[in-house]
Structure 1
């Protein structure tokens, strides 16, 4: 692997680790092993350059997804709320309070 190809491999592994939902100590290493196996497969010269170009694009895509997620969370604070909470927060934005809904009497 040349330096450029090593950089592509490391960029993919780095982005996979950032996207992981598991803490580092409990993270399964199967994903890293599969990525390593994909990079270790023999390829012809013309296919090799295209493969590494595609892998750099994958790393860029994953980095962009992380940034998109962070921006959504920052600029859309109502994202991920339940419908009821979303309505309350929306009404509160314009200075209104939602009326209390009566609970079913049993």
Structure 2
């Protein structure tokens, strides 16, 4: 029964890692579709995947499966929370990834103003 639970935990970890990558890919493409819900394998972080795989392989031999299960459930919760945090930050703070100049222009447009067009000799 413990092997079934470990397999379930491992699949949950992989699912959360895949969802985290797919939200990044959908943001880069500008849309989110059902086809993008699964991230292609090359875009996944191989180091993180191999680290989780190593932890699960080592846990087969150890006797403290309850503490390992609790740790993995905490890791799944952490990954899910981080993904949700990124989604909320991008949704409610759309200026987060802009440069300072782009942020000023977006703020001016938001209140109904346009930034003045600089003359060629007044370039920054």
Q: Normalising by the residue count of structure 2, what TM-score does the alignment of the two structures yield? A: 0.69
Q: CA deviation at 1:25?
A: 4.7
Do residues 16 (structure 1) and 32 (structure 2) align? no
Do residues 52 (structure 1) and 69 (structure 2) align? yes
* Superposed CA RMSD: 2.4
CA distance in 1, matches of 2:73, 2:91: 27
Change (3 A) 1:95 1:28: closer
* Runs of 5+ consecutive residues of structure 1 not aligned to the other structure: none
The structure 1 segments of at least 4 consecutive aligned residues displaced by more than 4 Å after TM superposition are: 27-31
Q: Partner residue of 1:95? A: 112
Say how many residue pairs are matched.
103
More helix by share: 2
Larger Rg: 1
Do residues 43 (structure 1) and 59 (structure 2) align? no
Change (3 A) 1:8 1:91: same
CA distance in 1, matches of 2:56, 2:72: 9
Q: Partner residue of 1:82? A: 99
- 8 A Cα contact 2:18 2:44, kept in partner: no
- 8 A Cα contact 2:16 2:80, kept in partner: yes
Q: Partner residue of 2:42? A: 26
